[in-house]
Chains A and B, each alone.
Chain A
Amino acid sequence: MNILSLFVLIPLLMLAGLWLARTLNQVRGVMVTGASLLLAAAVWLTVAYIGQRNAGAAQEMLFTDSITWYAPLHICYSVGVDGISVAMLLLSAIIVFTGTFASWRLQPLTKEYFLWFTLLSTGVFGFFISTDLFTMFMFYEVALIPMYLLIGVWGSGRKEYAAMKLTLMLMGASAFLLIGILGIYYGAGGDTMNILELVKRDIPYDMQRLFFPLVFLGFGVLGALFPFHTWSPDGHASAPTAVSMLHAGVLMKLGGYGCFRVAMYLMPEGAAEWGNFFLVLTTISVVYGAFSAVVQTDLKYINAYSSVSHCGLVLFALLMMTRTSCTGAILQMLSHGLMTALFFALIGMIYGRTHTRDIRQLRGLMRIMPFLSVGYVIAGLANLGLPGLSGFVAEMTVFVGSFEHPDTFHRTCTLIATMSIVITAVYILRVVGRILYGTCTNEAHLKLTDATWDERFAVICLIAAVAGLGIAPLWMSNLISESVAPVIAQLLGHAL
């Protein structure tokens, strides 16, 4: 059996295990075992992948395999990974692993919660390993629908509204996606759904022009593309901790990944035609998200808007279509995934204690819960791009790559987007100064305790990953850059 199938098989076994589990400890046991196995598989895959590349494997995707599923429509269960998918799988495994610990004490209906949580992970992993359009789309939707119940049942605040809004907007996007996929399939002759095959076909220019925006928009909504980002702040704010982590950390990356791997790779002429239009939208996302974060008072909303801004940067960098900027985009996906997960984990833990996320009511937390506060500062610094942490590497690559364009339009967009760095510093430092320092006047808050062992474990894992990526980014950026090359070649081959 192909090693990649493990990423679907393990979550499926976890689902079965959870189904049979009777006690809380059994549920936790299944989750920890499964999540650890997934992490181990992801690490092993990374090592094996790098090993094969060093040994001179030159194919675009490694570990490929294909099983015919629906022969009449040429639907196959095809898997394969390149550097980008490997990075994404590693990210997902880390988030699922830490997310398990972050929801260690979740009540009530713990078993059901983890069932949906695992189903969501199945979708995410399945998406990143698929090279077949149909299978990819199927996993994409599998990842979306559990969000409804996860937010609706276990969320907080206006959870029903947020859950419905999120589900409908994302499913609406997937309707665009579906028609785009049908367009690609029939446009390329209707005899294969495999991305690696499709890229060799020529989709007629007229169809590319029509279906590129649909596919890009379909994935872009999940990547919080302005003006379709509105599901994201509400959704993140209402979701339970681990779901926010998984959602901001991984699910939004499905959007960027899909835009790159499906929309831009398969329809380069469409990308050339529509690139500038979407570039304007993403520039707005970047700046608008950052500005919105400045005026929010709810911790989760601040981070949700910050995610809009950072995910906007991913799409922005992709649309710049240079090798450096696209490498930066993938790095940004990775870095944002890790640090947002860290942020949401910390916010969840703080909220679990103080029962408020309003920054006007929080003060002087540094003395009360030093561990969480230090974690928060680190996450904040990573977010605003401090060298040595992951954010710096990613944003640096993005902006350098974007500025490579000699023309005025691209440079202007880049300059505008660069402003977001400053604004990010504003909202991060404002929150840090506001809630962590000063003197706490709230009697109830003074009695609160610091993180428990499971929370500490989750936070330390994430900080280690953020710092690791910041200190030693080169192996990862090489891994990604190598795999970005064929897509860029494809894009440059078609009149940029």
Chain B
Amino acid sequence: MDILLSLQAEISLVAVLVIVLLADLIGKEPNHKRLQKTVYVLLALHIALNLRPFEAVAFGGMYHTTPMACTVKSLLTLGTLLVFMQASQWLEREDTRHKAGEFYVLTLSTLLGMYFMVSAGSFLLFYVGLELASIPMACLIAFDKYRHHSAEAGAKFILNSMFSSALMLYGLSFIYGTCGTAYFAELTPALTGTPLQVMALVLFFAGLGFKLSLVPFHMWTPDTYQGAPAAVSGYLSVISKGAAAFALISILHHVFAPMLQSWDLLVSIVLVASITVANLFAILQHDLKRFMAYSSISQAGYIMLAVLGETGQGTTSLVYYIAVYLMANLAVFGVIGLLEQQTGAAVERSTCNALYTTNPRLAFVMTIALFSLAGIPPFAGFFSKFFVFAAAFHTGHWAVVFLALVNTIISLYYYLLVVKAMYIMPSDAPVAAFRSPLPARVCLLVCLLSIMLMGVCSSVYQYIAAV
């Protein structure tokens, strides 16, 4: 019984997954609307039931959930729900309609994998979670498989993903070899920082670096984001990244704590490289999804700043950053997805020209979201950036903070390019005014309100800090 209670989040998610699977199997043919509503209600229920953070250990330490992990799970699930809402129009399209059920089931399985990742108590379970989060993802990316880009993106993702998993597994084998255990609780005292263990750390970091798309493990990101359906790119950029970032900070700070010296430098270098390289490349992009891919690489770099902080302050600011980033990025991908459906073609920066004159509300949401990503007050992104900077500064990483700050200017430049397209650039044929479907509008409204209020009202941050 105790085990059931400890695993309540996972069990209830599995229940949701099974119900959706059965509903999809049993239901009559064009039942997309009903299935959609079922998913929304079930997922909302699931979030509500698992809102309470708690600490539990199960299976002799194999599974270890912390209050913060519970919070992260709720956050990721909320994000997934928002992604589902964005996907509604795309899932009603002629060539995807028949597999809407699969989309939900696959997405929920990756989410389940992330659940295990964030509350693993052993590298074994962590690895299983990671794989569960990765393999169905490849199917999702290739979901529009008759569209060339999508299939290609899926192939790229699975190959890279396998490669990074192999690297990580190799590293984990070193750890098991030198310490004789894979349980986190037993590992911490056993890790002494021998060369082999440093090697293991690097390989482990490389593996997660792929998931987080940090430079130099970022090559797959732009192609995949560009090829995948907008909703999946959004999911990949926030949910998948959020889970990996949280797993990374908890493992580095708790398991690899004795090797702080080794990973501190590693993280510093990788984060500065990620932010700088991604920012420079983002300037050159015309395709908005590709552009957002580079933007998300640089955002991952900013998230890593929190890893450099003290455990408490770092974790709080990391989770808060993910929460804010999730809302802002999903808003942008939501708008991109709508434009994509509307125009039926890839969304370029020039597609947005004069968007304000035809679709002022969409342009407004996009502007606010981009401002938040760039870290402009009074939007939440400003606060989240400030907190990660403060966290890294506190532990004396002045130079890293300085370089990251200088990079915010470059990022502001390319975010402003999109704003400029929407407000200033003239266009002969701007995207015609259109009305978005209800779920997408609700999703954008939720994102917009969160971006505007999460910073000004300190309660979200304080809730996370108190967990």
B-binding residues in A (CB < 8 A) = 69-73, 75, 134, 138-139, 141-142, 145, 148-149, 152-153, 159-160, 164, 167-168, 171-172, 175-176, 178-179, 182-183, 185-186, 190
Contact = CB atoms under 8 A, between A and B. Distances in A.
A182 B389 contact: yes
Given A168-B413, A171-B409, A179 B376 contact: no
Nearest to A207: B398
Nearest to A178: B405
B462 A175 contact: no
A58 to B, nearest CB: 33
Nearest to B387: A73
B40 interface: no
B401 A182 contact: yes
B371 A72 contact: no
Contact of B465 (A72, A141, A190): A72
Interface residues of B, number: 32
Contacts of B423: 149, 152-153
B390 interface: yes
A449 to B, nearest CB: 31
A69 B458 contact: yes
Given A70-B383, A70-B458, A179-B398, 5 more contacts: A72-B461, A134-B386, A141-B382, A149-B423, A160-B420
Interface in B362-404: 371, 376-378, 382-383, 386-387, 389-390, 393-394, 398, 401-402
B86 to A, nearest CB: 26
Contacts of A134: 386
Given A168-B409, A172-B409, A175-B409, A142 B378 contact: yes
A69 B413 CA distance: 30
A160 B426 CA distance: 12
A72 B378 contact: no
8 contacts: A141-B382, A153-B423, A153-B424, A167-B416, A172-B406, A175-B408, A178-B405, A185-B390
B313 A138 contact: no
A182 B378 contact: no
A35 to B, nearest CB: 21
Interface in B424-442: 424
B48 to A, nearest CB: 27
Contacts of B393: 179, 182-183, 186
Contact of B390 (A167, A168, A176, A182): A182
A164 B416 contact: yes
A141 B419 CA distance: 17
A59 to B, nearest CB: 28
B424 A152 contact: yes
B406 A178 contact: no
Nearest to A151: B424
B295 interface: no
A152 B420 contact: yes
B299 interface: no
Contacts of A167: 412, 416
Contacts of B461: 70, 72
B316 interface: yes
A286 B371 CA distance: 35
Contacts of B420: 152, 160, 164
Given A141-B377, A160-B420, A73 B390 contact: yes
B219 to A, nearest CB: 29
B416 A148 contact: yes
A172 B406 CA distance: 7
B368 to A, nearest CB: 11
A148 B409 CA distance: 14
A-B pairs with lowest CB-CB distance, top 9 = A175-B405, A182-B393, A138-B377, A172-B409, A152-B424, A70-B458, A141-B377, A145-B376, A72-B465
A112 B376 CA distance: 19
B372 to A, nearest CB: 12
Contact of B412 (A168, A176, A182): A168
B450 to A, nearest CB: 17
Contacts of B389: 178-179, 182
B365 to A, nearest CB: 15
A138 B382 contact: yes
A138 B402 CA distance: 18
- Most B CB within 10 A of own CB, among A152, A159, A190: A152
Contacts of A141: 376-377, 382
A190 B313 CA distance: 13
Contact of A164 (B394, B406, B413): B413
Contacts of A152: 420, 423-424
Contact of B402 (A164, A172, A179, A186): A179
Among B402, B406, B409, B423, residue most surrounded by chain A Cβ atoms (within 10 Å): B409
B375 to A, nearest CB: 9
A138 B382 CA distance: 8
Contacts of B409: 168, 171-172, 175
A141 B374 CA distance: 12
A75 B401 CA distance: 20
A149 B394 contact: no
A152 B356 CA distance: 14
A124 to B, nearest CB: 14
A167 B376 CA distance: 12
Contacts of B383: 70
Nearest to A214: B402
B280 to A, nearest CB: 15
Contacts of B405: 175-176, 178-179
A138 B378 contact: yes
B458 to A, nearest CB: 5
A419 to B, nearest CB: 35
B159 to A, nearest CB: 38
Contacts of A178: 386, 389, 405
Contacts of B424: 152-153, 159-160
A167 B458 CA distance: 28
Contacts of B406: 172, 175
A11 to B, nearest CB: 12
Contacts of A142: 377-378
A206 B173 CA distance: 46
B316 A72 contact: yes
B295 to A, nearest CB: 17
Nearest to A173: B409
A171 B394 contact: no
B313 A72 contact: yes
Contact of B394 (A159, A168, A176, A186): A186
Contacts of A172: 406, 409
A182 B416 CA distance: 26
Contacts of B371: 145
Contacts of A149: 419, 423
B150 to A, nearest CB: 35
B402 to A, nearest CB: 5
B419 A148 contact: yes
A141 B376 CA distance: 7
Nearest to A185: B390
Given A142-B377, A148-B416, A152-B423, A179 B458 contact: no
A438 B381 CA distance: 57
A171 B412 contact: yes
B462 A190 contact: no
Given A145-B376, A153-B423, A171-B412, A70 B402 contact: no
Contacts of B408: 171, 175
Nearest to B405: A175
A232 B436 CA distance: 42
Given A134-B386, A175-B408, A71 B462 contact: yes
A31 B42 CA distance: 48
B419 A72 contact: no
Contacts of A164: 413, 416, 420
Nearest to B316: A72
A186 B461 CA distance: 20
Nearest to B457: A69
Contacts of B458: 69-71, 75
Contacts of B398: 179, 183
B378 to A, nearest CB: 6
